[in-house]
Amino acid sequence: MRLEEWKNLLQANLLQDFTPDTQKNTQFNLPIYVDFKHDELKPAAVLIPLVWRRGDLNAILTMRTAHLTNHAGQIAFPGGRMDKEDIDLKHTALREADEEIGLKSEFVKILGSGDTYQTNTGFLVRPVLGLVAPEVTLQKNDYEVEEIFEIPLSFLLNKNNHREEFFERGGTRRSYFVIEYGRHYVWGVTAAIIRMLGARILGELK
């Protein structure tokens, strides 16, 4: 697919909603396992930076450093909790991307947003998609980010590249999705956001 075709597909199917969410989405949300009751869900956002390289549209992801308290060593999109100073969730996503990978907002054209995903830790995460200028130079925050890398969006949205894995907790068998790309193992919230995004963009995962 050419860049213009990708842009048209994304803009036709993405939301233009960046307001803080207080209730989880029910249309595309995957099952989650809420082991603790959260009196108040906390709004958060991730930026899904998309860059056109080598004839393909690629998503920029990070591998978190091993010493972090939460999600150490996992693969994620840059993002985090909404601050009081943030105007909306678009601002949150752009601020976090600047802090984590040195991506300045002037190099990003926002295309829209996906559906919120409720995490087990009480966050409502809205993915914000942005087209990144290919000439941009990224600089990782060494405390938070071990590696910055790219995966073609067409690979991420292809259900043939997803597999379901299982685990047991409290006597209950549970599942989650995994997307492997070379040595990179995408799972958990990031994989769930990708699957929800595929459902919105493609109508169903292709």
Q: Give mean pLDDT, residues 85-113.
A: 97
Smallest CA-to-CA distance from 33 within 117, 116, 114 is with 117
In a domain, 163, yes or no: no
**pLDDT the model gives residue 65:** 85
Q: Give mean pLDDT, residues 172-193.
A: 91
Domain extent, residue 58, equals 3-23+38-155
In a domain, 112, yes or no: yes
In a domain, 196, yes or no: no
Smallest CA-to-CA distance from 110 within 128, 125, 137, 135 is with 128
pTM of the full predicted structure? 0.91
Q: Give mean pLDDT, residues 179-194.
A: 93
CB 129 within 8 A of CB 50: yes
In a domain, 141, yes or no: yes
Q: Give mean pLDDT, residues 172-200.
A: 91
**Beta carbons within 8 Å of 160's beta carbon, 6+ residues apart:** none
Task: Determine what percent of the chain is predicted with pLDDT higher than 70.
Answer: 86
Q: DSSP label at 166?
A: E
In a domain, 43, yes or no: yes
In a domain, 13, yes or no: yes
| Residue 158, CA distances (Å) to 80, 128, 153, 168 in order | 26, 20, 9, 27
CB 58 within 8 A of CB 150: yes
Q: In this predicted model, what pLDDT tens digit does every residue of 25-54 receive, in sequence order?
A: 555 556 555 555 666 789 999 999 999 999
Look at the chain and count its residues. Answer: 206
Smallest CA-to-CA distance from 32 within 203, 162, 195 is with 195
The number of folded domains in the chain is 1
In a domain, 189, yes or no: no
**Least reliable range by pLDDT among 58-67, 92-101, 153-162:** 58-67
Q: DSSP label at 170?
A: T
In a domain, 30, yes or no: no
**Beta carbons within 8 Å of 65's beta carbon, 6+ residues apart:** 72, 73, 142, 143, 144, 145, 146
**pLDDT the model gives residue 28:** 58
| Residue 128, CA distances (Å) to 66, 93, 161 in order | 26, 7, 23
**pLDDT the model gives residue 48:** 98
Smallest CA-to-CA distance from 116 within 192, 63, 204 is with 192
CATH number of the domain to which 140 belongs: 3.90.79.10
